[in-house]
Amino acid sequence: MYYIGVDLGTSAVKLLLMDSKGKIEKIVSKEYPLNFPHPGWSEQNPLDWYEKSMEGLKELTEGIDKSQIGGISFGGQMHGLVILDEKDEVIRPAILWNDGRTGKETDYLNTVVGKEKLSEYTANIAFAGFTAPKILWVKENEPENFARIKKIMLPKDYLAYRLSGTFCSDYSDASGMLLMDVKNKCWSEEMISICGITKEQLPTLFESYDVVGTLKPEVAEELGMTEAVKIIAGAGDNAASAVGTGTVGNNMCNLSLGTSGTIFITSDEFRVDEHNALHSFAHADGKYHLMGCMLSAASCNKWWMEEILQSKDFKGEQEKIENLGENSVFFLPYLMGERSPHNNPKARGTFTGMTMDTKREDMYQAVLEGVAFGLRDSFEVAKKLGIKIERSKITGGGAKSPLWKKIIANVLNVKIDLLESEEGPALGGAILAAVGCGEYKNVEEAAEKMIKVVDTIEPDEELSKKYDERYEKFKTIYPGMIEIFNQIV
């Protein structure tokens, strides 16, 4: 049998065809536009997602026996607000995860409702990118649209709805809406009331590997597939990516160096830190996870190279960096504000410690180290919960850099495992589809049989000690900058 994983990203949809043993047969990607109607706003048309996904599904399955396709599942960009009217038509463009318009609503939730209450209701506090503040924004600024809302859903769930007709979401993705009681895996009645919506406007919740339906007859006909193809709920992109890296079970870790950077720690038990510095979400394996998300990771690298140095010779520039652990320059990687652990949209990137001796490679090294230190900020929160992490997988575009991986291994003082295949949420979606169709008894068994570690980067004791000293200095810089950020932003 074949299984399809659909990774609904911010710039493109990536579709992956996998056989029952985990062999990747084909990958197709289709881009769509990202719109910025006002400074700080970020929107997309859900119709583009569906159109490009259908194009991709046709191309992906061209030339294969389509009767052998067992199921389709998803990994999707989280937190986006998709709203439909009573005719199932999209009311307005989707407001995305990286949209920053909800500062007022986020402040209201965190200060008037209160962080303590939010944590009690949802295990999390409000962040500008979450879905609930977006709902409040529409209610306040577009009351005519708010009044038309019949269905509220997340981006990947729009695809599931169009393919199967089932109004659904999964626990991992819904965890990031600030509408779900994560501990008890149900919608929060209190948050529903605060947002002025009804339970009927929210989707039915499933585990990520649950079958939610089958292809609608007209969709199956258009794709040339059978109506028996199962649609499996899927997961938020980070949870799906974790499945695709085998980060399932208890106390496993995955680091993602994509546009944003995440540290993803699995847990059999529900956990939440006292300051809600980390997100406490449900995981796609049926358990839970903690996640720290920094808004700028590999994007810091891209910014420094392409915008500042006006170069694309990443390898050549990194080869000039030699004295790890001895750099006097520090970089705060907050080019788009910061989420974990500071939750400060006003934070900005800064360089500190330059002298007349500072060279361009020192600045570049500071950028790479700054992202690693930012990941460590979240790592330290997890350690305070008594979680002991000795090794981690690593994924994302930034993970292609041997130097950056070495820096991260030593900044965190953990072993970094490298994977045979790193296809992120698309592979995770395909694995969830295989589990949902009964190919494997659970997500852990599937990951164990499919995901292979091919190499490990070991931290160096002396270098890790040097980075411990530098991290102690790094973490003093942000507190001293808070008042300045408040004044200049």
Q: Residue ranges for the binding site for substrate? A: 78-79
Residue 206 to residue 358: CA distance in whole angstroms: 54
Q: Please state whether the peptide bond connecting residue 341 to the residue before it is cis, i.e. omega within 30 degrees of 0.
A: yes
Rounded to the nearest 10 degrees, how much is the dihedral formed by the CA atoms of 429, 432, 434, 439? 160
Reduced to 3 states (helix: H, G, I; strand: E, B; else coil), residue 72 is strand
AA identity, residue 273: D
How far apart are the C-alpha atoms of 482 and 311, rounded to whole Å?
Answer: 32
- Among candidate residues 404, 407, 411, 409, the one with its CA nearest the CA of residue 456: 409
- Any alpha helices (H) in 61-122, and if so which ranges? 103-107, 115-122
Contact 306, 365 (CB under 8 A): no
Residue 237 annotated among the catalytic residues of the structure: yes
Pairing, β 279-282 against β 288-294: antiparallel
* Distance, CA of 352 to CA of 482 (rounded, Å): 15
- List alpha helices for 18-66, DSSP H: 46-60
Residue 84: HSE in the Cβ half-sphere, 13 Å Cα cutoff: 21
Which residues belong to the annotated binding site?
Answer: 78-79
**Considering 170, 237, 285, 377, which one is annotated as catalytic?**
237
CB neighbour list of residue 298: distance below 8 Å, 6 or more residues apart: 257, 258, 259, 261, 371, 396, 397, 398
Q: How far is Cα 309 from Cα 322, in angstroms, rounded to an integer?
A: 19
CA pair distance 129, 429, nearest whole angstrom: 23
In three-state secondary structure terms, 32 is: coil
- Measured between alpha carbons, how far is 297 from 236 in angstroms, rounded to an integer? 19
Q: Using N-to-C axis directions, what is the helix angle for 402-412 and 360-384, rounded to 10°?
A: 40
Cβ neighbours of residue 207 closer than 8 Å, sequence gap 6 or more: 170, 171, 233, 284, 286
Residues composing the chain? 489
Q: State how far the Cα of 297 lies from the Cα of 372, in Å rounded to an integer.
A: 9
Instruction: Name the residue among 473, 290, 467 with its Cα closest to residue 379.
Output: 290
Q: Which residues are catalytic?
A: 237
